[in-house]
């Protein structure tokens, strides 16, 4: 270690999502739609002095084989509306909504986030996502026909235009760009944070460039130490090109965790959670996602399918298709043969092992290590249970991070920018 | 015993006060007004909205979501306009307001008629009002179909088969209209009320023989989709005529509330309002009160007028139920798709929906404009 001061850890709480990380079969699993579940998780995160509470978005229900995917949690509320309600029952925690820049117009986005920022006293964040798929577009008047290449063009111009509206407050804005020609003014003064915090999650070269140019926080998928360091170095290295300092962008990978009284306890619990996450039916659905063929009659407790994947299949919709299905199948067969794994055991082995497994002391040490070694600036924690999945982390890990001097004992300011150590942006 | 009144109130900041204080940005201000309305025992409060720059105010649906946890019974009815907003977003946002408020959401349907609003979006030119209201009707249709697209018992959590939902109880809505098409189903499960309460503003003149095309289209939307009409009439006679006409054209479940300016600077004004509220033969189910100074006027309502109405047996004591539909005496609707079966059997679901729905907008428009 060098003698630079300790980096401070940033933490966020992700409401459990509509995917198989979320275990709904556990007796302790509560409602995914009632407000009390959101209140519980947001208040728990605030008790733990987290930077922000995060909601994902999906504008079309996922499908498998032409039918709605029914094995995971399905259904969620509209994010901004829930966050406005949560602003009434929390005082400090940031409130982050994922909102698609393809299926929303900048004026309305600017107004909705300005409203959330005003109504929450400066706690709003916008996770900017884009979409080009016609599948989701079928729910919207503008349809899905945005060229893939135009996704980031539109997203970047959406963010830029939203910031013009925020800066202008109740003054008029005229904007002429390749994507938007608008002229208007908001019915609101400049938001308390100047600009609500912008989060970005894209991982492609374009996505990283967009993040370096535009974002305040990157929601990355690289929770592995080596990959995290590489990503951190890559994205922070791009900042100088936009006249930005490394501190002006926080990199926060998604991370899952399982705690136990001892590391051995935690490992045992982690294995149980993995089995619950990959039911026999979910294992088959995963294989179908790679193989692209109907495997309804395949035995999850038997070996992997002998047929080869169909790389051009449109069997699965509304989810990211796994790249290189043929190569993936080959690697999986080799691994299953080597370890003697059934289909279900193979899926458990190759998907979503938890990021942090251990006693509270172990997990606190690992998180601190990742952050001090620049594998991350903090984490967006994804509990596997609603709504109690964060309770134990807040009760047992947060105090240890505080003892280590790497996590705030209390909030130092009222706004999300204060929590993230981001300056109030200058008015342009 | 006389029939009890349904009362509601607007809680928009007074126009002249909006500029000289930041109250319009303070959620506590709106919460205090809604609590006064709740103390008075009103059915709901409305909060107006548009994409115009004046008056200064935050998004109305956001504001009412913000105060939902700070109130417990009062219905929350924001204006949401349909001209520039995606109908899918409108449906899930109102659905979510219903979830966060425990079944107290309503929707005051509005359209955007100004060029300034069109330019702020930069997507389409300003359109004539009749076209905008026909589109609003389509947005209401889409919203209702999406609310119904999850049957109430779609979530099953069946560990034996590994299924969280019974997908036969989720339905594609396959709406195709002149302005947009929406496939569905909703991403948000069916709201506590089944469908949030839909309110449409109508002026007595909209029902007249010489009504404008925009007015006629608004009436058509109200007849087809409204649970509540907020009726603006210049005098009692016009109100009675308009209410009678509306009731003839719509079903028994429509609640008609007459808009009533309710400036209450002194006891004399309170007495006049009380006389107006207790008059018989009005043809309406109640009144939508529009205060001049909301704090003062809603306080007078809670402290003196509501108790006087209760003494006269014209206002219920407390809230007998939890949801806005309960307050209004409106039944919770069954999903139009209930029993329609398999979600992939799109044609069947659509045919069933069409067969059981009320007349299409086009038919309703034809009736009004005949």
Say what the pLDDT of residue A2 is. 54
Q: Which residue has the tokens 């503008």?
A: A142
**Does the annotation place A98 within a ligand binding site?**
yes
> Residue B61 in contact with residue B78, Cβ under 8 Å?
yes
A284 touches chain B (CB under 8 A): no
Burial of B275 (0-12, 13-18, 19+ CB in 10 A): exposed
**B230 SS3 class:** strand
A91 touches chain B (CB under 8 A): no
**Which chain A residues have a beta carbon less than 8 Å from that of B161?**
281
**Mean pLDDT, rounded, for B271-297:** 95
Query: B68–A88: do the CB atoms touch at under 8 Å?
Result: yes
Task: List the single best residue of A139, A189, A278, A301 to mutate versus B (max B Cβ within 10 A).
Answer: A139
Convert the pLDDT of each residue in B57-115 to its tens digit: 999 999 999 999 999 999 999 999 999 999 999 999 999 999 999 999 999 999 999 99
Handedness of CA A407, A55, A86, A388 (dihedral sign): negative
> Residue A33 in contact with residue B99, Cβ under 8 Å?
yes
Pick from A58, A67, A62, A53: nearest CA to A11: A53
Question: Tokens at residue A10, please?
Answer: 């940033």
Query: B69–A85: do the CB atoms touch at under 8 Å?
Result: yes
Query: B89–A182: do the CB atoms touch at under 8 Å?
Result: no
Query: A68–B343: do the CB atoms touch at under 8 Å?
Result: yes
Residue B341 pLDDT greater than 70, yes or no? no
Confidence at B2, pLDDT banded by 50, 70, 90: low
Q: What angle do CA A98, A101, A102 make, to 5 degrees?
A: 125
For residue A387, CA distances in Å to A90, A283, A404, B242, B322 come to: 16, 25, 28, 50, 24
> Residue A397 in contact with residue A364, Cβ under 8 Å?
yes
Domain boundary (A350, A373, A402) is at A350
Specify the number of domains making up chain A.
2
Which of B31, B56, B187 is facing A170, going by the closest CB pair?
B56
Pick from A232, A248, A235, A268: nearest CA to A359: A268
Residue B363 pLDDT greater than 50, yes or no? no
Helices (H), B10-82: 27-40, 60-67
Q: Are residue A290 and residue A203 in the same domain, yes or no?
A: no
Q: Is residue A3 part of a domain?
A: no
Query: B182–A140: do the CB atoms touch at under 8 Å?
Result: yes
Q: Is residue A270 part of a domain?
A: no
Burial of B160 (0-12, 13-18, 19+ CB in 10 A): exposed
Question: Tokens at residue B31, please?
Answer: 């919460």
Confidence at B22, pLDDT banded by 50, 70, 90: confident
Task: List the single best residue of A27, A60, A187, A318 to mutate versus B (max B Cβ within 10 A).
Answer: A187
**A209 SS3 class:** helix
CA distance linking residue B307 with residue B301, whole number of Å: 8
Domain boundary (A299, A326, A350) is at A350
Say what the pLDDT of residue B152 is. 97
Q: Are residue A297 and residue A368 in the same domain, yes or no?
A: no
**Does the annotation place B79 within a ligand binding site?**
yes
Q: What angle do CA A18, B180, B339 make, to 5 degrees?
A: 55
Q: Are residue A314 and residue A415 in the same domain, yes or no?
A: no
CA distance linking residue A45 with residue A278, whole number of Å: 27
Q: Is residue A42 part of a domain?
A: yes
Handedness of CA A292, A298, A304, A308 (dihedral sign): negative
Say what the pLDDT of residue B151 is. 98
CA distance linking residue B298 with residue B286, whole number of Å: 16
Comparing alpha-carbon positions, the chain A residue that sits nearest to B187 is: A75
Q: Are residue A227 and residue A367 in the same domain, yes or no?
A: yes
CA distance linking residue A51 with residue A419, whole number of Å: 6
Instruction: Quickly list DSSP for A29-67.
Output: ---SSSHHHHHHHHHHHHHTT-SEEEE---SS--EETTE
Phi, then psi, of A372 in degrees rounded to 5:
-65, -30
Query: A68–B69: do the CB atoms touch at under 8 Å?
Result: no
A301 touches chain B (CB under 8 A): no
Say which CATH number the domain at A172 has.
Answer: 3.20.20.30
Q: Are residue A103 and residue A239 in the same domain, yes or no?
A: yes
Query: A59–B88: do the CB atoms touch at under 8 Å?
Result: yes
Say what the pLDDT of residue A134 is. 85
**Domain B6-369: which CATH class?**
alpha beta
Convert the pLDDT of each residue in B290-327 to its tens digit: 999 999 999 999 999 999 999 999 999 999 999 999 99
Question: Tokens at residue B149, please?
Answer: 């697209």
Query: A104–B56: do the CB atoms touch at under 8 Å?
Result: no
CA distance linking residue A231 with residue A358, whole number of Å: 25
Say what the pLDDT of residue B252 is. 81
Task: Give the closest-approach CA distance of A44 to chain B in angstroms.
Answer: 17
Contact map slice: A 18-57 vs B, CB within 8 A: 24-25, 33-35, 39
Say what the pLDDT of residue B357 is. 37
Query: A85–B66: do the CB atoms touch at under 8 Å?
Result: yes
Q: Which residue has the tokens 């005229």?
A: A174
Q: Are residue A284 and residue A402 in the same domain, yes or no?
A: no
Q: Are residue A75 and residue A18 in the same domain, yes or no?
A: yes
Pick from A44, A121, A128: nearest CA to A79: A128
Domain boundary (A350, A369, A404) is at A350
Query: B163–A75: do the CB atoms touch at under 8 Å?
Result: no
DSSP for residue A338:
H
Query: A25–B182: do the CB atoms touch at under 8 Å?
Result: no
**Which chain B residues have a beta carbon less than 8 Å from that of A112?**
59, 62
**Mean pLDDT, rounded, for B131-143:** 98
**Which chain B residues have a beta carbon less than 8 Å from that of A172?**
53
Convert the pLDDT of each residue in B160-208 to its tens digit: 999 999 999 999 999 999 999 999 999 999 999 999 999 999 999 999 9
pLDDT tens digits in sequence order for chain A, 428 residues long: 456 789 999 999 999 988 889 999 999 999 999 999 999 999 999 999 999 999 999 999 998 878 999 999 999 999 999 999 999 999 999 999 999 999 999 999 999 999 999 999 999 999 999 887 888 999 998 665 667 777 788 899 999 999 999 999 989 999 999 999 999 999 999 999 999 999 999 788 988 999 999 999 999 988 899 999 999 999 999 999 999 999 999 999 999 999 999 999 999 999 999 999 999 999 998 898 889 888 989 999 999 999 888 888 777 776 666 778 889 999 999 999 999 999 999 999 998 789 999 999 999 999 999 999 999 999 999 999 999 999 999 999 999 999 999 999 999 999 999 999 999 999 87
Q: Are residue A239 and residue A283 in the same domain, yes or no?
A: no
**Does the annotation place A107 within a ligand binding site?**
no
Query: B68–A85: do the CB atoms touch at under 8 Å?
Result: yes
> Residue A307 in contact with residue A294, Cβ under 8 Å?
no
Q: Is residue A312 part of a domain?
A: yes
Q: Is residue A272 part of a domain?
A: no
Residue B359 pLDDT greater than 60, yes or no? no
Spell out the residues 6+ positions from residue B363 whose beta carbon is closer than 8 angstroms to its own: none
Question: Tokens at residue A412, please?
Answer: 């130092």
Say what the pLDDT of residue B364 is. 33
Q: Is residue A267 part of a domain?
A: no
Say what the pLDDT of residue B351 is. 37
Q: Are residue A391 and residue A342 in the same domain, yes or no?
A: no
Half-sphere exposure of A275 (CA within 13 A, CB side): 7
Backbone Cα Rg of chain B = 21
Question: Tokens at residue B20, please?
Answer: 């000289």
Q: Are residue A64 and residue A20 in the same domain, yes or no?
A: yes
Handedness of CA A86, A24, A77, B99 (dihedral sign): negative
Say what the pLDDT of residue B230 is. 98
CA distance linking residue A179 with residue B343, whole number of Å: 37
Q: Is residue A205 part of a domain?
A: yes
Which of A70, A111, A181 is facing B59, going by the closest CB pair?
A111
Query: B69–A73: do the CB atoms touch at under 8 Å?
Result: no
Which of A118, A180, A280 is facing B25, going by the closest CB pair?
A118
Task: Give the closest-approach CA distance of B76 to chain A in angstroms.
Answer: 13
> Residue A114 in contact with residue B132, Cβ under 8 Å?
no
Comparing alpha-carbon positions, the chain A residue that sits nearest to B66 is: A85
Comparing alpha-carbon positions, the chain A residue that sits nearest to B171 is: A68
Say what the pLDDT of residue B222 is. 98
CA distance linking residue B52 with residue B62, whole number of Å: 17
Q: Are residue A171 and residue A283 in the same domain, yes or no?
A: no
For residue A43, CA distances in Å to A121, B28, B72, B282 come to: 17, 20, 20, 49
Say what the pLDDT of residue A276 is. 93
Higher pLDDT, B51 or A154: B51
Q: Are residue A157 and residue A196 in the same domain, yes or no?
A: yes
Residue range(s) defining the domain that contains residue A310? 279-350
**Which chain A residues have a beta carbon less than 8 Å from that of B169?**
none
Task: Provide ipTM, 2 decimals.
Answer: 0.95
Task: Give the closest-approach CA distance of A38 to chain B in angstroms.
Answer: 9
Bridge partners (DSSP) of residue B203 are B232
């Amino acid at each position: 270690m060098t003698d630079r001061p300790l980096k401070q850890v940033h933490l966020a709480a992700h409401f459990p999502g509509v995917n198989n990380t979320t275990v709904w079969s556990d007796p302790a699993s509560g409602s995914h739609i009632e407000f009390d579940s959101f209140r519980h998780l947001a208040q728990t995160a605030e008790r733990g002095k987290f930077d922000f509470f995060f909601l994902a978005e999906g504008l079309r229900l996922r499908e498998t084989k032409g039918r709605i995917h029914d094995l995971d949690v399905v259904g969620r509320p509209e994010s901004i509306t829930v966050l406005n309600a949560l602003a009434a029952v929390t005082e400090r925690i940031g409130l982050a909504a994922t909102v698609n820049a393809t299926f929303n117009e900048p004026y309305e986005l600017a107004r909705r986030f300005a409203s959330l920022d005003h109504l929450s006293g400066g706690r709003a964040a916008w996770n900017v996502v884009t979409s080009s798929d016609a599948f989701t577009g079928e729910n919207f008047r503008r349809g899905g026909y945005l060229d893939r290449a135009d996704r980031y063009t539109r997203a970047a111009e959406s963010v830029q235009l939203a910031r013009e509206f925020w800066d202008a407050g109740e003054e008029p804005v005229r904007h002429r760009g390749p994507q938007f020609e608008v002229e208007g003014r908001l019915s609101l003064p400049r938001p308390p944070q100047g600009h609500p915090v912008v989060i970005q999650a894209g991982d492609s070269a374009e996505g990283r460039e967009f993040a370096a140019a535009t974002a305040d926080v990157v929601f990355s998928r690289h929770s592995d130490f080596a990959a995290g360091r590489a990503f951190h170095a890559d994205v922070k290295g791009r900042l100088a090109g936009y006249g930005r300092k490394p501190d002006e962008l926080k990199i926060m990978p998604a991370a899952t965790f399982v705690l136990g009284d001892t590391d051995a306890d935690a490992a045992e619990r982690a294995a149980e959670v993995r089995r619950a996450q990959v039911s026999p039916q979910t294992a088959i659905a995963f294989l179908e996602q790679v193989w692209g063929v109907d495997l309804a009659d395949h035995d999850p407790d038997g070996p992997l399918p002998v047929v080869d994947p169909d790389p051009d299949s449109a069997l699965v919709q509304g989810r990211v298709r796994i790249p290189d299905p043929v190569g993936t199948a080959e690697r999986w067969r080799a691994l299953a043969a080597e370890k003697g794994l059934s289909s279900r055991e193979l899926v458990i082995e190759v998907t979503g092992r938890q990021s942090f497994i251990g006693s509270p002391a172990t997990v606190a040490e690992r998180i601190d290590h990742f952050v001090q070694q620049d594998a991350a600036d903090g984490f967006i924690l994804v509990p596997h249970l609603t709504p109690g999945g964060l309770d134990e982390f807040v009760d047992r890990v947060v105090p240890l991070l505080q003892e280590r001097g790497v996590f705030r004992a209390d909030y130092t300011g009222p706004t999300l920018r204060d929590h993230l150590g981001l300056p109030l942006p200058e008015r342009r | 015993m006389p029939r009890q009144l349904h009362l509601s109130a607007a809680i928009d900041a007074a126009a002249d006060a909006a500029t000289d204080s930041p109250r319009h940005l303070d959620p506590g201000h709106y919460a205090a007004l809604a609590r006064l309305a709740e103390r008075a025992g009103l059915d709901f409060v409305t909060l107006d909205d548009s994409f115009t720059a004046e008056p200064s105010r935050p998004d109305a649906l956001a504001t009412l979501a913000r105060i939902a946890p700070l109130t417990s019974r009062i219905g929350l009815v924001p204006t949401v306009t349909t001209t520039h907003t995606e109908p899918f977003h409108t449906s899930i946002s109102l659905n979510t307001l219903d979830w966060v408020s425990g079944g107290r959401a309503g929707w005051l349907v509005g359209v955007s008629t100004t060029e300034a609003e069109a330019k702020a979006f930069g997507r389409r030119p300003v359109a004539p009002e009749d076209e905008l209201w026909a589109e609003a009707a389509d947005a209401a249709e889409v919203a209702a179909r999406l609310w119904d697209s999850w049957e109430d018992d779609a979530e099953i959590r069946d560990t034996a088969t590994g299924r969280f939902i019974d997908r036969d109880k989720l339905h594609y809505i396959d709406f195709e209209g002149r302005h947009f098409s929406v496939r569905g189903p909703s991403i948000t499960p069916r709201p506590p009320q089944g469908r949030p309460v839909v309110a449409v503003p109508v002026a007595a003149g909209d029902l007249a023989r010489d009504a404008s095309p925009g007015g006629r289209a608004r009436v058509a939307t109200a007849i087809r989709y409204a649970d509540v009409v907020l009726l603006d009439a210049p005098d009692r006679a016009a109100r009675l005529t308009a209410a009678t006409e509306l009731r003839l054209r719509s079903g028994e479940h429509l609640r008609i509330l007459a808009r009533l300016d309710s400036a209450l600077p002194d006891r004399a004004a309170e007495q006049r309002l009380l006389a107006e509220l207790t008059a018989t033969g009005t043809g309406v189910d109640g009144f939508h009160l529009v205060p001049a100074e909301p704090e003062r006027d809603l306080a007078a309502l809670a402290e003196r007028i509501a108790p006087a109405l209760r003494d006269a047996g014209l206002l219920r004591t407390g809230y007998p139920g939890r949801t806005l539909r309960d307050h209004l005496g409106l039944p919770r609707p069954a999903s139009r798709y209930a029993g329609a079966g398999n979600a992939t059997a799109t044609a069947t679901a659509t045919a069933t929906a069409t067969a059981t729905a009320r007349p299409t907008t086009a038919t309703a428009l034809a009736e009004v404009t005949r």
